[in-house]
Structure 1
Amino acid sequence: MSSVNTTIQLITRSQAEKQAAQLVGTPGRAQESCDEDLAKGPWEFDLAEALAGTPGYGPGASNEDTAPPATPVQGQLPQEYKDASDADLKSRIVAAKAELGERVVVLGHFYQRDEVLEFADFVGDSFQLANAAKNRSEAEAIVFCGVHFMAETADMLSGAHQSVILPNLAAGCSMADMADLPSVEACWAELAALYGTEPDDDGRVPVIPVTYMNSSAALKAFCGEHGGIVCTSSNAATVLEWAYERGQRVLFFPDQHLGRNTAKAMGIPVEHMPLWNPRLPLGGNSAHAMDEAQVILWQGFCSVHKRFTVAQIEQARIDFPGVRVVVHPECPMEVVDAADEAGSTDYILKAIQGAPDGSTFAIGTEINMVNRLAAQYPQHTIFCLDPVICPCSTMYRIHPGYLAWVLEGLLRGEVLNQITVPEANAVNSRVALERMLAAKPRQARAVAPQ
């Protein structure tokens, strides 16, 4: 099976119709790309953003996603890397890694394109990669093939002698940008005025802040400073239980869907989960709704997982009777409710690994991971719920050309694209992250169809 990148290239050349079956693995389920510009080199968008003076998330991003002015932008990649063939880039990366040896470790997220991930020393979700960064103390440099907030986390958890590198600075996260420190601080002040700050008779404070890993170091520091914690999709339920032992209610940001789906699975009524709009007083809620609140959900979402729909699940069940539908908990609640199961990327992987041969899976998560799973487990039929190929637009901005560039920079003694979190943020962020790492994920709950 060809990679997502190869498939997009072929789609762009109008070859998808006759080749979709063998490229994607399931006839008729993926014959178009959400944006033909995905076939271009990411450096074309680095240049366009630099010329316009406006950062962006790249082709394939939702029209609803507007990058804040402070979003990092990538300088120009040297021409030799733009002009290099795939084979040349591969040989240069292999040679650089061989010469650098244990001085460098390459970490890769499940959603990364195959052409980059093949060079990763460790592949995982954000929770696993955070642990990997913490435990690779022998490496002088950690090259993080993920997105900006992941590299920030690696910098905070790694040693002072280590440098963390993000191959393309424009690899950000629109969800992470949906919650910023001033907005969260303003929300916190409103909640303090509403609920007070004194603990109840059981010693539980009025509100515990919980930030998803997909957030800036500044927000992780906010949680550390205010008695809160970080969570990932792997350990969100464990983290919420931790929070309720210490607080009467939770402020959960930036992803409303992960918060809602996790809390609902724990038995918390949806009507006790008001959605907080940072542009409105009391987040756009009534005083009564806030009095009843158990989880206050920030108005954020993942553009990739927002693409999945109940209609796609219904169509999958028509096309493949007996299909097992597994989705990521960043999907909207109605999609999670309609699926057979919901869980993190690691949960999805383990579900496929443990299934009897001949199983059929419809997966609701990022297409690079789904495509890779279909190739790795040919004994199953595995396809993405969304019939349109649309990878994570920011993760996709890391290309082998950037990886070769930063690795060869290390050979010359240059640390390119280093990610450094100011110590003022890092101190409190580490507090929240260490709490997260101590909250070991348990087996994810299956979500029954409703």
Structure 2
Amino acid sequence: MSTTSVSISQKLTLSGSSSCNPRLAQAPWEFDAMPGYGPGSSEADPVPAHAPTNAEARPGQLPQLYRELPEEDLHERIRAAKEALGEDLVILGHFYQRDEIVQHADFLGDSFQLANAALTKPEARYIVFCGVHFMAETADILSSPEQSVILPNLAAGCSMADMADEDSVEAAWEEICEVYGVDPQNVTPDDDGKLPILPVTYMNSSAALKAFCGRHGGIVCTSSNAETVLEWAFERARRVLFFPDQHLGRNTAKAMGVPLEQMPMWNPRRPLGGNTAEDLQQAKVLLWHGFCSVHRRFSVAQIEKARSEHPGVKVIVHPESPMPVVDAADASGSTDAIRKFVAASSPGDVIAIGTEINMVNRLAAEYPDRTIFCLDPVICPCSTMYRIHPGYLAWVLEDLVQGRVNNQIVVPETVAAHARVALDRMLAAKPK
């Protein structure tokens, strides 16, 4: 276990106010078969009823050898396997990955950057995605049939993505279209050439929901290009259904001038999402009742405390944070925008960041002449990103050297074809 990981687990253990799961100090394979989302997750973060339990969804558990090897041996094996595979291999690493994984990544970035990075390596037979499941699905959709996409640990999912499943979105779409008096399977423009409703899904969603958007004239967005995507959508439709993250949708639309009263919440467990037909007629953005358990933890009180203790502090948060937090911060942006914000700062600056702790710690180490810290005093890392451990990476790489492909992510072409349409629109919507 790395120094960073130990310090995180110690803080979780010592904090009396922690609502984070204290199993963080355990190795991932020790909790992969347990219910819940894993270490660092909020104890109040429910597993949706439709989501499979870990034990049901985790074939190909890590062989015992890779659980017992010292970490330095794992790194040596990873380096040797990378050298043996050469141009046949590309490793993609998300900003939220632990440092032990990041050091082996050929590309480091946010979901938008990594989706593009996968396209730059058409000669690579193997794309090893050190991120979470929906990211690996996207890479498989965008890659060529000759390429294999591998997720080192199949337990690396996303609680936010699980909050909007295909059945719930299909049911919501039928209800919404009935209110607008249109055929849910064939939504056509009005006399002014505008669709009454258009679906927009955040990258943090399943391939099935990306395909849903592709079938219904919709698009995928990331936190980097959400504003560009909403502009694209509003040119074509009077309103959008935005899922699964309510906060990114609300913060982005509000910054574009959409009034809050035109952004009703859609709760899939209530008739008409908990709204009246009049609410839906007046809506501009219908926000799905979903959220990120990490970014939901950030609060205005944390920002006020940072400003009190560090006069002149600059505060930047991720737009998955609640609206009052984004409003109280000096800036908000994607993980790459946060990285650029820090890079543009000056020696001696104090910066409080509202995003995942592995990234914050990495930025603090990269810029030791600044004071950089996480807004949340109780550190909750992304519990599923954390499941990618060097043991899993060494295992899948060494088996690739032997010609064995483990944990391959395959999206059926019946789904991929429609999802690709929505993803291509996303890639064309360049961030501002």
Tell me if the contact between 1:110 and 1:369 (Cα under 8 Å) persists in the aligned partners.
yes
Shift of the 65–39 alpha-carbon distance from structure 1 to 2, 3 Å rule, reads same
> 1:216-260 CA distances to partner (integer Å, 9 max, x unpaired)?
000000000000000000000000000000000000000000000
Point out the more displaced range, 390-399 or 74-83. 74-83
> 1:275-299 CA distances to partner (integer Å, 9 max, x unpaired)?
0011111100122211210000000
AA aligned opposite 1:313: I
Point out the more displaced range, 355-364 or 63-72. 63-72
One of 350, 369, 380 as aligned partner of 1:390? 380
TM-superposed deviation, 1:202: 2.3
Distance 2:317 2:51 in 1: 33
Tell me if the contact between 2:11 and 2:378 (Cα under 8 Å) persists in the aligned partners.
no
Structure 2 residues not aligned, in runs of 5+: 183-187
Question: Counterpart of 1:38?
Answer: 24
Shift of the 324–308 alpha-carbon distance from structure 1 to 2, 3 Å rule, reads same
Distance 1:194 1:6 in 2: 53
Question: Counterpart of 1:314?
Answer: 304
AA aligned opposite 1:109: H
Question: Counterpart of 1:346?
Answer: 336
Question: Counterpart of 1:210?
Answer: 200
Tell me if the contact between 2:11 and 2:379 (Cα under 8 Å) persists in the aligned partners.
no
TM-superposed deviation, 1:10: 5.0
AA aligned opposite 2:52: A
Distance 1:3 1:341 in 2: 30
Question: Counterpart of 1:175?
Answer: 160
Question: Counterpart of 1:57?
Answer: 37
Question: Counterpart of 1:194?
Answer: 179
Tell me if the contact between 1:3 and 1:114 (Cα under 8 Å) persists in the aligned partners.
no
Tell me if the contact between 1:3 and 1:372 (Cα under 8 Å) persists in the aligned partners.
no
AA aligned opposite 1:100: L
AA aligned opposite 2:410: T
TM-superposed deviation, 1:389: 1.8
Which runs of structure 2 are paired with 1:74-89 in the superposition (5 Å)? 74-89=59-74
TM-superposed deviation, 1:61: 1.7
AA aligned opposite 2:140: D
Tell me if the contact between 1:3 and 1:113 (Cα under 8 Å) persists in the aligned partners.
no
Distance 1:31 1:90 in 2: 36
Distance 1:288 1:427 in 2: 36
Q: Say whether residues 1:289 and 2:279 are aligned partners.
A: yes
Which runs of structure 2 are paired with 1:262-281 in the superposition (5 Å)? 262-281=252-271
One of 219, 233, 255 as aligned partner of 1:229? 219
Distance 2:380 2:229 in 1: 31
One of 143, 147, 161 as aligned partner of 2:132? 147
> 1:61-83 CA distances to partner (integer Å, 9 max, x unpaired)?
22232153436325421111110
Shift of the 425–83 alpha-carbon distance from structure 1 to 2, 3 Å rule, reads same
Distance 1:282 1:35 in 2: 35
Question: Counterpart of 1:52?
Answer: none
One of 117, 132, 138 as aligned partner of 1:132? 117
Secondary structure of 1:206's counterpart equals: coil
TM-superposed deviation, 1:304: 0.4
One of 26, 32, 47 as aligned partner of 1:66? 47
Distance 2:3 2:276 in 1: 49
- The alignment of Structure 1 onto Structure 2 pairs a total of residues equal to 421
Question: Counterpart of 2:95?
Answer: 110
Tell me if the contact between 1:124 and 1:346 (Cα under 8 Å) persists in the aligned partners.
yes
TM-superposed deviation, 1:8: 3.0
TM-superposed deviation, 1:11: 4.9
TM-superposed deviation, 1:185: 0.7
> 1:88-144 CA distances to partner (integer Å, 9 max, x unpaired)?
111111111111111111000000011111100000000000001122111100000
AA aligned opposite 2:27: G
Shift of the 219–7 alpha-carbon distance from structure 1 to 2, 3 Å rule, reads same
Question: Counterpart of 2:80?
Answer: 95
Following TM superposition, where does structure 1 have runs of at least 4 consecutive aligned residues deviating by more than 4 angstroms?
Answer: 9-12, 30-33
Distance 2:104 2:22 in 1: 26
Structure 1 residues not aligned, in runs of 5+: 18-29, 50-54, 443-450
Distance 1:419 1:298 in 2: 27
Tell me if the contact between 1:112 and 1:395 (Cα under 8 Å) persists in the aligned partners.
yes
TM-superposed deviation, 1:200: 2.4
One of 255, 259, 262 as aligned partner of 2:249? 259
What's the TM-score, normalizing by structure 2?
0.94
Secondary structure of 1:388's counterpart equals: coil
Distance 1:11 1:347 in 2: 27
> 1:383-432 CA distances to partner (integer Å, 9 max, x unpaired)?
00001121100000110000000000101100000000010100000000
Secondary structure of 2:393's counterpart equals: helix
Secondary structure of 1:326's counterpart equals: strand
Shift of the 271–136 alpha-carbon distance from structure 1 to 2, 3 Å rule, reads same
AA aligned opposite 2:241: L
RMSD over aligned Cα, in angstroms? 1.8
What's the TM-score, normalizing by structure 1?
0.91
AA aligned opposite 2:230: L
AA aligned opposite 1:354: A
Question: Counterpart of 1:4?
Answer: 4
Distance 1:136 1:31 in 2: 46
Tell me if the contact between 1:33 and 1:389 (Cα under 8 Å) persists in the aligned partners.
no
